[in-house]
Structure 1
Amino acid sequence: MELTILGSGSAMPVPDRAQAGYLLDDGGRSLLVDCGSGVLQRLAGTETGYEGVSTVLLTHHHLDHVAALLPLLKARWLAGAEHLEVVGPAGTKSLVDGLLDVHEYLDGRVDLAVREVSASRPFSAAGFEVAARETRHSMKGLAYRFSPPSAPVDPADGPLTLSGDTEAFAGMASFADGSDVLVHDCSFPDGTDVSNHPNPTQLGESLAGVDVDALLLSHLYPHTGGREREMARSVRDAGFGGSVEIANDGLRVEI
């Protein structure tokens, strides 16, 4: 399974970071997780392309995670694709219906399926087996843990976890325990007065003693610019024992 960081940024744009978006590829199957502004351009630069993504999985409905959802639908229609599935937490159908109310001419252009999921049971998306858990954020959302189609295991034991937007807390750490790779919200450096997102020390403390091989810090606000090494060091100093990297757009990780 390969993870490509399409967008490692936030609701405050910077030139080198698109908003939230992650591409999973395995054995010819592709899944897009979140679809913020700029993600469609990043996706067009991959071998998969928007033509190869027929399923989008949303962590939550904040604008920086869904802004390119209808542009993706339109691009697939214009490219001759016939289908798009949108999967996400409760409220996803209302979100898509509302977007189509504004852009009525896109309604019916492709075979559009919308499916709502919850943390109560695992599910499949584009062939990937997925477990979910609720996050702690200003809007209800879900974190996801993935098992690839080529080597299915219990998704609760899958090798990749994506936190979505969330505070750092013990339940999230437990959900990610045993992952090869954890991509976690770390929006601001230490010393920033903010809620609903963790700083590096909070994240490191929550992950102390957790078995995660590699941690990627993502959803980075402009405040983090030039402080990335300091942030990675703070996570380690706070108790996390695995490797720590800063997610950057275009980064590809084999899992």
Structure 2
Amino acid sequence: MELTVLGCGDAFGNGGRNNTSFLLSASGEHVLLDCGASTLIRLKHEGINLEDISTIIITHFHGDHFGGIPFFLISSMFEHPRKKPLTIIGPKGVNKKVYDLQEAMYPGTAEATMELAISYLEYEEGIPLIIGNKTIVAWEVDHSIPSIPHGVRLEWQGKKIAFSGDTSWTDNLIPLSKETDLFICECNFLDKVSFGHLSYTELLDTFNKFETKQLWLTHMADEVIDADHFILNRLSDGQKLKI
């Protein structure tokens, strides 16, 4: 399995990085972990056929994490009409959230998306959601409450990949990371301790609680991107990882 970092930036595009989206690829099939507003551009840059993306998993309802879905869908409707089914998975209300966002960004197109073979599924904390050969488990995390934030873990093709989404420290990150082949964890700040996001200083004190083969940091502000003497791994746009 391979992970391609389509975007690992924060909401403000610090470091000139794209919005959050991670592409997992195996056996000719692709899965997206989050779909920030810049995702379609990055998929085209990587030469990815949208038809081969079977699943989009959303951690929470902020534009830099799910705002790219309307662009994905208009391309799938009008540019290259989609024939294969697509599953969009997210917190409670994901169907309505996507519908409302689609209609806000491209009025009159939300009804047209219903002609596509899209299945919307909601996860619940700690309850495995099984779709074919994929298992998704979500844990609630500490971020903007209206965005319904979760960390997610995907078990697929014999691998376990987890992503914290946006969060400050919560003990739920420990079971989220357990026995994973890859854990992607947000690290927005360098030293600041604040609700909603993690700092590098906090992670230095807690990363040994994670049970993962690979830990990589994402969603970094400029102060983290520009810092020297890092112990933990930092992602960058366009990076590819073998899992």
Summarize deviations over 1:132-172 as a string: whole Å, max 9, x none.
211111132221122223x3xxxxxx532111111123221
- What does residue range 1-255 of structure 1 map to in structure 2 within 5 Å? 1-14=1-14, 16-77=16-77, 78-82=79-83, 83-102=85-104, 103-109=107-113, 110-125=116-131, 127-139=133-145, 140-149=148-157, 151=158, 159-190=160-191, 192=192, 194-227=194-227, 229-230=228-229, 232-233=230-231, 244-255=232-243
CA drift of 1:117 comes to 1.3
Amino acid at match of 1:69: I
Instruction: Give the letter for the 2:178 counterpart.
Output: D
Deviation at 1:39, TM superposition (A): 1.5
| Separation in structure 2 between the aligned mates of residue 91 and residue 117 of structure 1, nearest angstrom | 10
Asked if the contact 1:173/1:207 (under 8 Å) is kept, the reply is no
**Structure 1, residues 50-82: CA drift from partner, whole Å, max 9, x if none?**
232132110000111111110000111221213
TM-score relative to the length of structure 2: 0.87
TM-score, normalised to structure 1, is 0.83
For 1:250 and 1:40, how far apart are their aligned partners in 2?
A: 14
Q: Quick one: percent identity of the two aligned structures?
A: 25
Distance 1:100 1:180 in 2: 34
- Measure, in 2, the Cα distance between the counterparts of 1:136 and 1:7: 22
For structure 2, the 5+ residue unaligned runs are none
Gaps of 5+ in 1: 152-157, 234-243
Deviations 1:82-140 (A, max 9, x none): 34332101121220221243322342242332221112411135742222211111132
How many residues in Structure 1 have an aligned counterpart in Structure 2?
Answer: 235
Q: Relative to structure 1, is the Cα distance of residues 126 and 8 closer, same or farther in structure 2, using a 3 angstrom cutoff? A: farther
Contact 2:168 2:194 in 1 (8 A): no
Q: Give the whole-Å Cα distance in 1 for the aligned partners of 2:56 and 2:69.
A: 8
Comparing 23-32 with 75-84, greater Cα deviation is found at 75-84
Alignment partners' CA distance in 2, 1:107 and 1:97: 8
Tell me the amino acid that sits aligned with residue 101 of structure 2: L
Runs of 4 or more above 4 Å deviation:
none
Distance in 2 (alpha carbons) for counterparts of 1:111 and 1:146: 22
Structure 1's 247 and 199: CA in aligned 2 closer, same or farther, altered over 3 A? same
Instruction: Indicate the SS of the match to 1:54.
Output: strand
Q: Supply the distance in 1 between the matched residues of 2:131 and 2:47 (Cα, whole angstroms).
A: 20
